[in-house]
Amino acid sequence: MTLLQITEPGQSARTEPRGGEPRKGGYAIGIDLGTTHSVAASGADILRGPDGKALLPSIVAYGKNGDVLVGNAARAKAEDADFIVLHSIKRLMGRSAAEAGGAGRQFPVAPTPDGLFLDIFGRRVSPVEVSAEILKALKLKAEASLGDAVTKAVITVPAYFDDAARTATRDAARLAGLEVLRLINEPTAAALAYGLDSGAEGVYAVYDLGGGTFDISILKLEKGVFRVLATAGDTALGGDDFDQALLGLVYDDGPYTHAQLDEARWVKEALSEKDSIPLSLKGGKRTVIERAEYEAAIAALVARTLSISAQALEDAGLAPEKTQGVVLVGGSTRTPLVRAEAEKYFGKKPLTGVNPDEVVATGAGIQAAALTQGSGNLLLDVLPLSLGMELMGGVKETLLSRNSPIPAAATREFTTYQDGQTGMKFHVVQGEREMAADCRSLARFELKGIPSGVAGSARIKVTFLVDADGLLTVTATETVTGQSQEVAVKPSYGLAPETMEKMLRESIEKAASDLKARLLAETRAEAEQMLAILDKAIGKDRELLKQEALAAIQAAETLLRAALEGADRDRILAAMEALSDASGDFAAARANKALGQMVEGRKVEDVARDATKKTAGQ
């Protein structure tokens, strides 16, 4: 397994001071591509603009005349009819119109057979293109700060971004002229900056509540090695939802104007310091917001973050009090209620010594430096959901389990099910359920050119490889001919957060029924294969059967086929046992016939010697 090299905070990605000789190949920076704001870093140094500000608002404005503005310049066009202003585009990354759900209602969504696009004055623009504009702006800002070209980046993503959303992020970077060295999870990036800087060891929870997403990661830090024990999260829960809750106290149901959203963000931030804030916009149901009523409005959202945290801790096999510390990440963790509830749940005061808006970018910058220069610390990230294949009977075979450290690979050997089979179909699935139909379908492909032979004679090796970005490649190879097929799993749309939550919840709630269904499916497949093998044997060696023995076998077969029409596994097992008993003498007669053919014309001592050699070789 390839392990990532992480440098200590304070060590820059630069090999020379700013203003020095041009860097060969350009700089590698770290980027926190956030829902509300985005930040760039070179090593552990946050890159700031001429105004000294690090945060670039993740806002893009498209003008009727073709102008594209980013950041504060885009925000200034919020009420300009000649511009369409887009906020929180991250919520649409890797999603279809159907999967976008409520998030899609915030945007001029124009669904097409080719995927989700936005209608920008009659022109189709994808979420990938919008994100690319933000990345271009960060790239230019970094180049102005560093005085040299920026060509590579480590970009952070929510831990629960699925394969499609991660792929969309890479595509956006490519459009922006950036080579992606690595995608790393946001909580993990924060740990690089925070945990290593403090020299901490033990188990830590990284609670990351940003503008649009929430992630919780449980990490074990030991001798410079980070291992992510478990992750959980919601890609549609964050500060944007706090804004909506606050606006619900003041106005009737949305959609809300950009001015109202801007004021909500300002009021929310001010309430972190004061008990009440007057409102400037007119037309609302009140003129003052009290911190107490605001906290009551967001209480359910905060509780939701703690419920997700409980799931991550359960996956890690830990109680809250067994963590050594809690790291708060993301601007929304400045909310006093969030800090108070986190302290109450984990039983310890959260660690807040690093700027929560900048810590993720700092970790990404450190990682960028490590990948271009190398240093002495290690990071192991994990898979958010299990990956596997569908077997005969619809059973899911897991090759890589949820929370497996990545990069990761697993190889499993499969064989043919029927005589003369020259091809094999593969169905790759994602999820925690026992049956493939209850999991998410990722890809289907077929391996052809398998040498024809009896069932079970072929050997096909299937390899699952998940790279450091969490992207999956599946390869199937027939070992004799070398015939091979490969598929890179890049679904056309992402997994909605509510769907992911449902998948995890149902895997627990339906564990007993799932196991029962799996055992039934496996027994069915075994029984069907037993019938196929026996029918073939009778067709070949029927002369070995007396009429009454054949009748007994056929009667047992009829009972087994009748049992297979139902869902009583015990009945199927009993029928299989009865068929085995009825065909026992026939099986023995076939074995004797085969033995007779083997020894025919040979000396007794030669047969005995061969048998001795075979036994010795086992």
- Between the alpha carbon of residue 223 and those of residues 137, 144, 219, the distances in Å are 38, 37, 13
Answer whether residue 306 shows pLDDT above 90.
Answer: yes
- Residue tagged active-site, from 8, 45, 90, 136: 90
**Range with the poorest average pLDDT among 264-273, 358-367, 378-387:** 378-387
pLDDT digits (tens, 9 = 90+) for 51-83: 888 999 999 999 999 999 999 999 999 889 999
Query: In terms of pLDDT, which residue wins out, 606 or 449?
Result: 449
pTM value is: 0.60
Question: Domain end: 362, 381, 400, which one?
Answer: 381
76 and 205 share one domain: yes
> Would you call 90 a catalytic residue per the annotation?
yes
Geometric angle at alpha carbon 378, from 373 and 379, rounded to 5°:
110
| Integer Cα distance of 288 and 286 in angstroms | 6
- Between the alpha carbon of residue 26 and those of residues 41, 48, 49, 180, the distances in Å are 14, 18, 19, 13
| Integer Cα distance of 104 and 92 in angstroms | 7
The answer to whether residue 185 is domain-embedded is yes
Q: In what order do the strands lie in the sheet with 115-120?
A: 109-112, 115-120, 123-125
CATH, residue 307: 3.30.420.40
40 and 82 share one domain: yes
35 and 105 share one domain: yes
- Residue tagged active-site, from 8, 99, 208, 381: 208
The segment with the largest mean pLDDT, out of 116-120, 380-384, 468-472, is 116-120
123 - beta bridge partners? Answer: 120
> Would you call 133 a catalytic residue per the annotation?
no
| Integer Cα distance of 82 and 374 in angstroms | 48
The answer to whether residue 617 is domain-embedded is no
238 and 369 share one domain: yes
Query: In terms of pLDDT, which residue wins out, 226 or 453?
Result: 453
Decide: 130 and 507 in contact? Cβ < 8 Å. no
108 and 140 share one domain: yes
| Integer Cα distance of 161 and 586 in angstroms | 57
The answer to whether residue 616 is domain-embedded is no
- Residue tagged active-site, from 162, 186, 197, 381: 186
Q: Please report the pLDDT score of residue 565 as a whole number.
A: 87
377 and 391 share one domain: no
pLDDT digits (tens, 9 = 90+) for 535-588: 888 888 888 888 888 888 889 889 988 988 888 888 889 988 888 888 888 878
Question: Domain end: 509, 530, 565, which one?
Answer: 509
**Range with the poorest average pLDDT among 17-26, 202-211, 347-356:** 17-26
pLDDT band at 500 (very low <50, low <70, confident <90, very high): low
pLDDT digits (tens, 9 = 90+) for 78-89: 889 999 999 889
The answer to whether residue 241 is domain-embedded is yes
- What domain count does the chain have? 3
Tell me how far apart the terminal alpha carbons of the chain are, to the nearest angstrom.
34
Q: Please report the pLDDT score of residue 314 as a whole number.
A: 93
Interhelix angle 359-373/186-198, nearest 10 degrees: 80
The answer to whether residue 328 is domain-embedded is yes
Decide: 116 and 149 in contact? Cβ < 8 Å. no
Q: What phi, psi does 411 have (nearest 5°)?
A: -125, 135
Decide: 5 and 375 in contact? Cβ < 8 Å. yes
102 and 37 share one domain: yes
Give the H/E segment covering residue 177: none
Of the candidates 534, 587, 526, 541, which has an alpha carbon nearest to the alpha carbon of residue 556?
Answer: 534
505 and 518 share one domain: no
Give the H/E segment covering residue 19: none
Q: What phi, psi does 379 have (nearest 5°)?
A: -135, 130
* Whole-number average pLDDT of the chain: 81
The answer to whether residue 618 is domain-embedded is no
393 and 335 share one domain: no
Q: Please report the pLDDT score of residue 59 as a whole number.
A: 95
CB within 8 A of 6, min separation 6: which ones? 192, 196, 226, 366, 367, 370, 375, 376, 377, 378, 379
Q: Is 197 helix (H, G, I), strand (E, B) or coil?
A: helix
**Range with the poorest average pLDDT among 187-201, 209-223, 302-316, 541-555:** 187-201
Range of the domain at 406: 387-509
Answer whether residue 200 shows pLDDT above 70.
Answer: no
Q: Please report the pLDDT score of residue 416 as a whole number.
A: 78
Answer whether residue 171 shows pLDDT above 60.
Answer: yes
Q: Residues 375-399, buried b or exposed e (16+ Cβ, 10 A)? A: eebbbbbbbbbbbbbbbebbbbebb
Answer whether residue 444 shows pLDDT above 70.
Answer: yes
> Would you call 186 a catalytic residue per the annotation?
yes
Q: Please report the pLDDT score of residue 78 as a whole number.
A: 85
447 - beta bridge partners? Answer: 424
Average pLDDT over residues 187-216: 78
The answer to whether residue 153 is domain-embedded is yes
- Residue tagged active-site, from 32, 129, 358, 390: 32
pLDDT digits (tens, 9 = 90+) for 205-220: 999 998 888 989 898 8
CATH, residue 534: 1.20.1270.10
Decide: 516 and 434 in contact? Cβ < 8 Å. no
364 and 436 share one domain: no
Q: Please report the pLDDT score of residue 39 as a whole number.
A: 96
Answer whether residue 21 shows pLDDT above 60.
Answer: no
Decide: 41 and 54 in contact? Cβ < 8 Å. no
pLDDT digits (tens, 9 = 90+) for 89-125: 998 888 877 776 655 567 888 777 767 889 999 999 9
Question: Domain end: 357, 381, 405, which one?
Answer: 381
Q: Please report the pLDDT score of residue 281 as a whole number.
A: 77
Q: Please report the pLDDT score of residue 82 as a whole number.
A: 95
365 and 447 share one domain: no
> Would you call 32 a catalytic residue per the annotation?
yes
104 and 240 share one domain: yes
CATH, residue 493: 2.60.34.10
